[in-house]
Amino acid sequence: MSHPYLEWLGEDNQIRRLEIIDKVYIGRTCKGVDANKRVLLYDPSISRNHAEITRTAAHLQVTDTSKNGTWVNGIRIAAGSPKDLADGDIILIGKASFRVFYPKITADGTYNGTATDSTIVDSAEVDVTSLVADIKGFTAFSQNHTSSEVYNIVKVIFDEFNAIVDQFKGTIKDYAGDAVFAFWDHRIEIPTSQAVQACQAAIQQKLAFDRLLVEITEQYRDVQNLQMGWGITTGTVTISHYGSRVADLALVGDCINLAFRMSDIANKEVPEKIVICAQTAELVRRELTVKNLGMFSIRGRIGEEQVFALN
C-alpha cells in the first residue's frame, strides 16, 4: 500500500523524504514525538511545535500550531484550523518548502536541528489588503432570538463567507461577534492580484448573503432586517502576536482600523454596500469598476478619508 510523503531540501542540500502514515509533526523540537513522525528545522522563528499533518481515510490535512504562520500554495492558513492537502501542494514553513507526494517511497531520514528554549516571534511589517464584512441589525435580532438560534444563523453565513475567502486565497483572521475579518498578504503575490481577489471575495459574499437571506427567511421572517456592509483597505501592518496562544495573531496598523470603520458606514451612511479606500481603488480600478464617493468624516478618525464604492 502506498503512503503520501513529504519531500524537502535539507540544509545539506540533500533531498529528504518522510512518509505520512498517520501523523507528521514539523517544528524546532517536537519533544516526545517519534523520529519517524517528525521533521526538525533549526530556525529560531519556527515554533517548537509548528505544524501537524494528519492522515485519515478521507483527508490529508495540515494544521498550523505556530506563532509565525504556515503557508499552503502561497496562502497563509488560519491558525488552529485544518487545511486539506492534495498531491503537489507546497507547504512553506519559515524558509523550508515541503512538497506533498502520494506515491509510496520508503524513507527513514529526518532533519535533526538544534533546539532553543523559546520561539523568536517574527514581527514583520508587510502590506496587506483587509476585508471586514459586518452584519447590521445584529443586536436587535439577537434580542428576539435564543442564543442557539442566533448562533445557527450566523454560522450558516460565516461558513459561506469562509469558503469564499478560501476560494480567493485569503486568510480569515477573526470572527468578531457580527463581523468577519480576513486579509490578503502581499508578500506571496503581487499587490494588485491580492487586492482584486479581496474585492472579488466581497462581491461573492454579497451575492451569497442575498441568497442566504431568502433561504433563512423561510424559518425566521425577521432575518430580512439583517443587512451587510463591507470595508476593504490596503496598507502596511505589523504582523506578530499578543499573548501565548497561537491563535492570538495580531495585525496592527491604521488600515485595519479603517477597514472596520468603513464597514460601519457601508450600507448606512453611504448607500453602497462595499466601500474601499483610495489605495485599494488605485490597485483594482483596471480590473473592477469603482466609483468615487468623495471625502467622508469617519467616526474616531482625524480629518477626512476619500471613499470609493465597488460596483
pLDDT value of position 243: 57
* Longest CA pairwise span in the chain (Å): 66
* Chain position carrying cell 476619500: 306
Q: Give CATH for domain 5-101.
A: 2.60.200.20
| Side-chain half-sphere CA neighbours of 136 within 13 A | 15
Encode the chain (311 residues) as per-residue pLDDT tens digits.
Answer: 368 899 998 877 788 899 998 999 999 999 989 888 999 998 999 999 999 999 987 789 999 999 889 999 989 998 888 899 988 899 999 989 999 986 543 444 333 333 444 455 556 788 999 999 999 888 888 888 888 888 888 889 999 999 999 999 898 888 877 889 999 988 878 899 999 999 999 999 999 999 998 888 878 888 888 899 999 999 999 887 665 555 567 788 999 999 999 999 998 889 999 999 999 999 999 999 999 999 998 888 888 999 999 98
pLDDT value of position 123: 67
The predicted model scores a pTM of 0.68
pLDDT value of position 240: 76
DSSP-derived letter for residue 42 is: -
Q: Give CATH for domain 124-310.
A: 3.30.70.1230
Sequence-distant (≥ 6) Cβ neighbours of residue 159 within 8 angstroms: none
| Extents of the domains making up the chain | 5-101, 124-310
Domains 5-101 and 124-310 share a fold: no
